[in-house]
Amino acid sequence: MTRRIRDVNGPNDNPTVDTITVNTSMVIGSSTLTEAEVNQLDQANNATNIGAAATVTGTLATSITRIGSYFRIDFTLTAVSISVTDAGVSGSYGSTKLFDFAAGAVSFLGCRQDYTAFAEGAALTGAAGDASFEIGLGTTAISAAADGTLGNGVNENVGQAVAVTLSGGTGTGTAVDGAKTTALDGTATAIDLNLNWSGTAATIDANSTITVTGTITVVGVMLGDD
């Protein structure tokens, strides 16, 4: 990079202009990287230290940005499938893992959920298209029916429950969370992010699936490992 520097010696002096050359590139082997490319590589390396996206049925695109200990994860879901278990009068439930964090404590600073489409499996409501449920993001996979609620606990402790009632099989939902007051200790057992779902007994008829389309953003800070 070449910069021109103007040096004025006094009010009556003619200014002189010096040209200096500053090397802002890095050479690796026979390739030369610009400063911006070096920064991108550094950020990509840092991102891999956050964790990794899980394998899902459907399409899950994940983008990780990390600056120092702070991170942002952007998920784009396209027809990501959740297997639903019908528990009769207790309602129904299902979960799919989205992300495995690296071992370490994590403090979550915010979450945005924007669900733009759902698709019921054939047996879910007997083709009524009227499923009523809550969906949210938690560090524990929901494991029991609760008649359409996620319970305000570990099933939704990253992204709060979004209440949705489909009409003709269509519906949307959004929610925004701020910083959580309690950091989570993932030093012994690494933390997971799970997309949790809880359906009502009145609208869910059988074991089936529901697919989810939309975007989720999670922001936080890694606090280190033991």
| 140: in domain | yes
Sequence-distant (≥ 6) Cβ neighbours of residue 157 within 8 angstroms: 108, 138, 139, 140, 180, 184
| 204: in domain | yes
| 112: in domain | yes
Please report the DSSP string for 94-156 in residue order: EEEEEEEEPSSEEEEEEEEEEEEEEEE-TTTSTT----EEEEEEESS---S--TT--TTSTTS
| 57: in domain | yes
| CATH classification at residue 143 | 2.60.120
Which of helix, strand or coil describes residue 219? strand
Domain that holds residue 220: 53-224
Q: Could you give the CA distance from residue 141 to residue 82 in angstroms, rounded to a whole number? A: 12
Domain count, the chain: 1
| 164: in domain | yes
pTM of the model: 0.80
149-204: per-residue pLDDT in tens? 999 899 999 999 999 999 999 999 999 999 998 999 999 999 999 999 999 999 99
Beta bridge partners of 192: 100
